[in-house]
Chain A
Amino acid sequence: MNTVLDSVVFKFIYCMLVSSDECANSFKIIGSGFISEKYAIIGFLITAFFLIFIIVNGALVGVLALIWGERRLVGRFQARLGPNRWGPWGIFTPVADAIKVMFKEDISPTLSDKFVFILAPILMVVPVLMIFAVIPFGEATFLTDLNVGVLFVLAITSTNTLSVLMAGWGSGNRYGIIGGLRAVAMLLSYEIPMALAAVGVILMAGSLSIIQVIESQVIPYAIFQPLGFLTFLIASTAELNRSPFDITEAESELIAGYMTEYSSMKFGLFYLGEFMATIASSAIIVCLFLGGWKGPEILPSHFWFMIKWILMICVFIWFRATFPRLRVDQIMELAWKGLFELTLINILSIAILMLIWPDPSITELWIMTGIKWIVFFVSLWIFGKLLGPKPLQKNGVARKIVLQK
């Protein structure tokens, strides 16, 4: 209960309800509330419920904004306008989409396993909402400071594997089953590089708490350990099922993969879960690698967090608009032969550097950063040579198209 009260927002609402000396000292203007300290737990629960309500609804609004933003931005990437009819700049398009989705006919196929079929979309959304609990949206603005925050995030994100498999299996459709099984193979493989990339951060921060991780970033970890950042970014793109790793729903192959048989609000929940996961994942990357709320003091910390967050989401949209999809065996190859080793190199180099400089000053930190960048380029070059596309050769000459006169 005490760690929660570190959060200014939480404490503010709590103190409006509960009368205590601590509250009276902290907020002189509003004074203290009407609930006596004996029943403080009631005030605590009401505050928590209120904040959860705000965060859940905030996440839903965020999804609507992301749907709109993604469609507008991808429109620009593709040399077209994007939605611009419904409201100014088309901002009500996702609202219209949501209404449409709600009024569609809810079909469940005869061959489906009804219980699993209905449970899958719910399992997709709920864990993602839980991630928001540990994200600090600004300085001293969070729902809870969990002392195993990073571990919690990694554990919660991995449950969507189950949901995708359930959806694929339960819908009794062969496209669905192939999509679901692909998802299990891919998501399980990419959890390992994702977790190992986070280990690099945890080593430096010396804590699993996300707040501690942010506070330990004198230099943002994206600059300090580029290898960890790159592998985490790639692995989380894969975890999000986004292009170029969207083999589970692969539109041109599996129609919609595990979502093929879903319609109406069940489909809407999948859609919601997917976009919410993008938002949550961007927030996690911002916290772990981009310094969270930190920034020059010309702006409040919340603005810095928002700016970084939106930029990170834009990067994911950029990925989606640009890359073709990898094949399933190439995706597994990338995870096990590429990212896994790269994250190990990252951990090893950080461990060695920390052994040399156990308590680094700011100059030593920059020296470490320089070494990390050298490791980054050397290891990427080697792995690029080993795993990259080999230009097909004929008689020792790279092949080309012959122009016959």
Chain B
Amino acid sequence: MSLRTEPVTMNVGPIHPSTHGVFRMRVTFDGEEIVDVEPVIGYLHRGSEKLAEERTYTQVVTLTDRMDYVASMTNNQSYILSVEKLAGITPSPRGVWLRMIAAELQRIASHAVANGFLINDLGAWHTPLLYMLREREKILEMFEMLCGARITNSYLRPGGVFMDAPDQFWPALNRFLDEMPNRIDDIERLLTTNEIVLIRTQNVGVLKKDECLNASITGPVLRASGVDWDLRDKNPYDYYDQIEFSRPLGEIGDNHDRFLVRIFEMRESLKILRQCIENIEPGPVRPKEVPFLVRPPKGDSYVPIESPKGELGFYLVSDGGISPFRCHVRAPSLINLTLLREMVLGDKIADLFVTFGSIDVNMGEVDR
């Protein structure tokens, strides 16, 4: 017997517990199955790119904090690298090591949040999320030591960072490096072989290799589909060429692969952090001769970096003035979001939110 069914269209968001901000999806369901998804974005548009044209190069750093607000250190890094290339500034080594430490800590924090919220979207009443947030809290405390801020850091400056790490930072970092592997093991014991997590995430939201490449998807989502593409390895910026690390690759590209890739990347980031601590040497964190009011020559620059979410780059055009003539952000969240419809068609309602969570988008970065 076949029932006559009728699709129902429903607005999910912009205010909804698991749209990770103010994302809106116009979803058409047939019973429990998803027939159509139409993402609607723009609810958090603040015109950051236009605002950047009105500010000096150093002031724009604060705007970049507010784009991907769970990974502001890497946003700073991408912007500063672009400015340094534009103005031809050679950063001082200690500053570069410090910002690499900050960026890797930020990567761990961002992945912890991403995985925690992914499990929360699966319906685990906040428990794994709070375990993840507890680890993130330690990182935020270290950021507080570095620059006085926890979320919107504005730590980096053209030429390095604005302040050397205080004495209590290094013991805290060492303690974190000792503790964190055990914490990741805890999370793995709780979740990676959890039967409910397995049946909910395996073979759901599959992204094939060529689909990813066609849509220029980057970051952990791309690596979970089995493409070995990490800008820290392929196009090393800062001192990543002096560091050894491996890239975790998934095979199928489903939600579970994306979850695992992030867990493994956290471990790799810990390795990178250890090497950074070995290599860092005393010295100035910022060359004295670089002025705060940077005035780059005419030209443009683009330096992509591997942010926790994918390839993040600032395209800056200078007309020789004190503020950028044009600033454009290649935001990984926005581009990774483009294949959402293809990933969830035919799945159940519940899978929509899990898949959306596994892409790990940040609405601040999507809308800018």
CB-based contact B195/A178 at 8 Å: no
Task: Please report the C-alpha to C-alpha distance between residue A182 and residue B121 in the assembled complex, in whole angstroms.
Answer: 18
Task: Please report the C-alpha to C-alpha distance between residue A282 and residue B354 in the assembled complex, in whole angstroms.
Answer: 32
What residues of B have a CB within 8 angstroms of the CB of A100 in the complex? none
* Complex partner residue of A388 from B195, B349, B353, CB under 8 angstroms: B195
Interface-side segment among A109-117, A123-131, A250-258, A355-363 = A250-258
What residues of B have a CB within 8 angstroms of the CB of A327 in the complex? 199-200, 348, 350-351
A389–chain B nearest beta-carbon distance, Å: 4
CB-based contact A78/B349 at 8 Å: no
CB-based contact B127/A253 at 8 Å: no
Q: Decide: A392 near B121, CB < 8 A? Known: A78-B126, A325-B350, A327-B348.
A: no
Query: Is B47 positioned at the interface, with any CB of A under 8 Å from its CB?
Result: no
CB-based contact B17/A255 at 8 Å: yes
Q: Could you tell me how many residues of chain B have their Cβ less than 8 Å away from some Cβ of chain A?
A: 46
CB-based contact B249/A389 at 8 Å: no
Task: Please report the C-alpha to C-alpha distance between residue A253 and residue B344 in the assembled complex, in whole angstroms.
Answer: 14
Query: Is B174 positioned at the interface, with any CB of A under 8 Å from its CB?
Result: no
Query: Is A330 positioned at the interface, with any CB of B under 8 Å from its CB?
Result: yes
Query: Is A246 positioned at the interface, with any CB of B under 8 Å from its CB?
Result: yes
CB-based contact A321/B125 at 8 Å: yes
Q: CB within 8 Å of B: which of A292-308?
A: none
Q: CB within 8 Å of A: which of B97-132?
A: 119-127, 130-131
A115–chain B nearest beta-carbon distance, Å: 24
CB-based contact B195/A321 at 8 Å: no
What residues of B have a CB within 8 angstroms of the CB of A255 in the complex? 16-17
Query: Is A382 positioned at the interface, with any CB of B under 8 Å from its CB?
Result: no
Q: Which residue from chain A places its CB closest to the CB of B250 in the assembled complex?
A: A401
Task: Please report the C-alpha to C-alpha distance between residue A254 and residue B352 in the assembled complex, in whole angstroms.
Answer: 12
| Chain A positions 283 through 327: 1 when the CB is less than 8 Å from some CB of chain B, otherwise 0 | 000000000000000000000000000000000000011111111
CB-based contact B200/A324 at 8 Å: yes
Task: Please report the C-alpha to C-alpha distance between residue A272 and residue B260 in the assembled complex, in whole angstroms.
Answer: 40
Known A324-B196, A324-B200, A401-B257; 18 more pairs at CB < 8 Å = A74-B127, A78-B127, A78-B130, A178-B349, A182-B32, A252-B123, A252-B353, A253-B18, A253-B352, A255-B16, A320-B125, A328-B348, A389-B198, A389-B199, A391-B198, A399-B251, A402-B248, A403-B264
Interface residues of A (CB under 8 A from B): 74, 77-80, 174-175, 178, 182, 243-244, 246-247, 250-255, 320-330, 388-389, 391-392, 394, 399-405
Q: Could you name 28 residue pairs across A and B whose Cβ atoms are closer than 8 Å?
A: A78-B130, A178-B349, A244-B196, A250-B123, A251-B123, A252-B18, A252-B120, A253-B123, A253-B352, A253-B353, A323-B124, A324-B200, A325-B123, A325-B124, A325-B200, A326-B200, A328-B32, A330-B199, A388-B195, A389-B202, A391-B198, A391-B202, A392-B252, A400-B251, A402-B248, A403-B246, A403-B264, A405-B246
Interface residues of B (CB under 8 A from A): 8, 10, 16-18, 29, 32, 119-127, 130-131, 134, 194-200, 202-203, 228, 246-252, 257, 260-261, 264, 348-353
